[in-house]
Amino acid sequence: MKTTVEAIYENGMLKLPAPLPLPEKAHVTVTIQTEAASSSDAERGAWLKLSEESLTKTWDNPDDDVFNELLKK
């Protein structure tokens, strides 16, 4: 099961807003993502979008149709 919850780090402990639907003493894996990481994810997404647009212009152009026709022969 994968669950995402927000928590507050306070006095060396993570404080959850409500109990989780887990059995007592369940072993879990915790991944920490701060808000700063979220903004870098947005920047990464913007760069990926720009890269995709550039690659689309390069690979999706009418000049390539000539090569596609040659491949059919």
Amino acid letter for position 11: N
The answer to whether residue 11 scores a pLDDT higher than 90 is: yes
**Short-list 28, 33, 27, CA closest to 9:** 33
Task: List the domain boundaries for the chain.
Answer: 8-72
pTM score, whole prediction: 0.41
Rounded CA-CA distance 64/70 in Å is 10
Encode pLDDT of 33-69 as tens digits: 876 655 677 888 888 888 988 888 777 777 777 777 8
Q: Helices (DSSP H) in 1-73: which residue ranges?
A: 35-59, 64-72
Residue 65's beta-bridge partner residues?
none
Whether the CB-CB separation of 28 and 16 falls below 8 Å is answered with: no
